[in-house]
Amino acid sequence: MLLFSSVIITGTGIVLSFLSIWMIYTFLRERVLRAVLWSVALFFIPGIMIFLFAGSLPSSFSTGMVFLIFIVTFFVILPPQVKKVPVDKAPGESLDERDIMFSRRLLRPGMPEFEDYYSRHPEKKEPDDIFRGKPGLLSPDAKLFDPFTFFAAGALFDTVETLAGDVEGGVADQKVTVNPVGMSRLLKSWAKKMGAVSSGITGLQHYHFYHTGGRSYNYGEKIVPGHKYAFAFTVEMEEGMIATGPLGPSVMESATQYLEAGKIAVVLARYIRKLGYSARAHIDGHYLVVCPLVARDAGLGEIGRMGLLMTPRLGPRVRIGVVTTDMPLQPDQYKEDRTITDFCIRCMKCADNCPVKAISSRHPKPVRGITRWQINQEACYTYWTVTGTDCGRCVAVCPYSHSDNLFHRLVRLGIRKSWLVNRLALPLDNLFYGRKPIPRQVPEWLNPDTDRITK
């Protein structure tokens, strides 16, 4: 028995030591000194001590240690007990695009649309007048203005706009017969080859579409759903860039991935039209659908506390692209992942770190007849117009947003599969990274020597 205990304890010491070395390596690559120090204190030193003294421990202590190890192992393999979060999956009605901030920011006094909107929503005029009095997104007068990152983001958004003419187009006269299963597999593989990290297909529902357009090209026009299927995909925003939010690199990276998502969507839509089927790409500034809802129903994640798509692999650190079409496809079966929404209920890190407290720290509540989380979009967007960036602080601090390496993948897997990891992930994340992490510094390559550039 004593030999058995010694072997178990020695093995535990070795496992803890190697785990700590792996963690230290991971955190050093991420340049998070705080996490490195806590890994040494909590795992490396205890692991070494257990390994060195396993054979000299009193028998009673050894027995207690073995018992503790088995208890911990039991809770590691025990599935997590998660409660069903009271969030409605299917909204009862479609959204009006004119109500979102990206539409309201286009309204100017004297415009017929301005008078029409605020005559119907007088309660929104006062908060909207506040953001109109601020410098604006990417403005040189904004609080965090930086010419290198702001102008880069502007160039990227301008390039996205050049794709707008290709979101729709003529359909080939001759229709190619396709196998829905094989065609679905082809689109997913091709999207991945072009840079998508996840993709899925869903049958379109009425709530996926805005019921009325709100952009300059379709303001006030009724949107008539004309397609049966949606192909949704995500592209990754680089963790190091997003972690600087609300500084300039975050909006630069955001714009970069809007462009990447736009390119993929436009290419796929063009391809489908060449096969003889109607297809439309939905890209930044030219959406007819609510992308997070489409992506969720395509099996790509859940809608989290901050109102964004929470993917199991990258959390909210993604941008979404959608192609709608009448080409026969094989929809993916949506399976609710309660561990994500359960984690959002307990975490609240995005709410605590929001500079203007635009994210609710409470449970979901009824909004327009459905139960969900609702951010204060006026406060959020007004902050954007002050800083000049799209902030991204909520995305940066989310525990699901950490680097997509093997260590963090195992932690995310543990949240879904292990009771102990599910319960320890949040307090350990707070310990290693801080409850309110400081934004990272601007990457060195984005700090050019102005004198050398202008010579």
DSSP letter string over 213-268? --STTTTTPBP----SEEEEEEEEPPHHHHTTTTSHHHHHHHHHHHHHHHHHHHHH
Calculate what percentage of the chain has a pLDDT beyond 90: 78
Least confident of 104-108, 291-295, 336-340: 336-340
At residue 66 the predicted structure's pLDDT band, cuts being 50, 70 and 90, is confident
**Which residues lie across from 320 on neighbouring strands?**
234
Alpha carbons within 13 angstroms on the beta-carbon side of residue 298 total 32
Least confident of 70-74, 140-144, 272-276: 70-74
pLDDT of residue 2: 52
Query: Which tokens go with 132?
Result: 């109109």
At residue 59 the predicted structure's pLDDT band, cuts being 50, 70 and 90, is low
Q: Which residue has the higher pLDDT, 410 or 58?
A: 410
Q: Which residue has the higher pLDDT, 121 or 85?
A: 121
Element (H, E) at 349: helix 349-353
pLDDT of residue 181: 98
Asked whether the beta carbons of 356 and 379 are under 8 A apart, the reply is yes
Alpha-carbon span 361 to 348, nearest angstrom: 6
Span 168-225, pLDDT tens digits = 999 999 999 999 999 999 999 999 999 999 999 999 999 999 999 999 999 999 999 9
Task: With CA atoms as reference, report the closest residue to 323 among 293, 280, 287.
Answer: 280
Which phi and psi angles does 276 have, rounded to 5°?
A: 100, 15
Alpha-carbon span 369 to 304, nearest angstrom: 18
At residue 454 the predicted structure's pLDDT band, cuts being 50, 70 and 90, is very low
Residues 228-250: what's their mean pLDDT?
Answer: 97
**Which pTM does this prediction carry?**
0.92
Which phi and psi angles does 79 have, rounded to 5°?
A: -65, 150
Residues 87-91: what's their mean pLDDT?
Answer: 70
Span 429-447, pLDDT tens digits = 999 999 999 999 999 999 8
Query: Which tokens go with 103?
Result: 């539409």
Residues 112-134: what's their mean pLDDT?
Answer: 96
Query: Which tokens go with 340?
Result: 């994500």
At residue 455 the predicted structure's pLDDT band, cuts being 50, 70 and 90, is very low
Asked whether the beta carbons of 208 and 230 are under 8 A apart, the reply is yes
**Which residues lie across from 235 on neighbouring strands?**
319
At residue 451 the predicted structure's pLDDT band, cuts being 50, 70 and 90, is low
Exposure string for 62-85, b = 16+ CB within 10 A, e = fewer? beebbeebeeeeeeeeeebebeeb
pLDDT of residue 8: 74
**Which residues lie across from 289 on neighbouring strands?**
209
Residues 155-179: what's their mean pLDDT?
Answer: 97
Least confident of 159-168, 294-303, 335-344, 396-405: 335-344
Asked whether the beta carbons of 204 and 329 are under 8 A apart, the reply is no
Q: Positive or negative CA dihedral for 345, 348, 350, 355?
A: positive
| Preceding amide of 80 cis, omega within 30 | no
- DSSP three-state, residue 318: strand
Distances (CA, A) of 209 to 39, 95, 252, 353, 444: 47, 7, 28, 31, 42
Span 273-294, pLDDT tens digits = 999 999 999 999 999 999 999 9
Residues 6+ apart with CB under 8 A from 35: 23, 27, 432, 433
Over the chain, what is the mean pLDDT?
92
Span 250-260, pLDDT tens digits = 999 999 999 99
Alpha-carbon span 159 to 164, nearest angstrom: 9
At residue 150 the predicted structure's pLDDT band, cuts being 50, 70 and 90, is very high
Element (H, E) at 201: strand 198-203
Residue ranges per structural domain of the chain? 1-77, 97-396
How buried is residue 236: exposed, middle or buried, by Cβ count under 10 Å (0-12/13-18/19+)?
buried
Strand 198-203 and strand 229-236: pairing?
A: antiparallel
Element (H, E) at 366: strand 365-367
Least confident of 8-17, 124-133, 413-422: 8-17
pLDDT of residue 10: 79
pLDDT of residue 88: 66
- DSSP three-state, residue 323: strand
Helices assigned H by DSSP within 45-90: 45-53, 59-77
CA angle 80, 373, 331 (to 5 degrees): 70
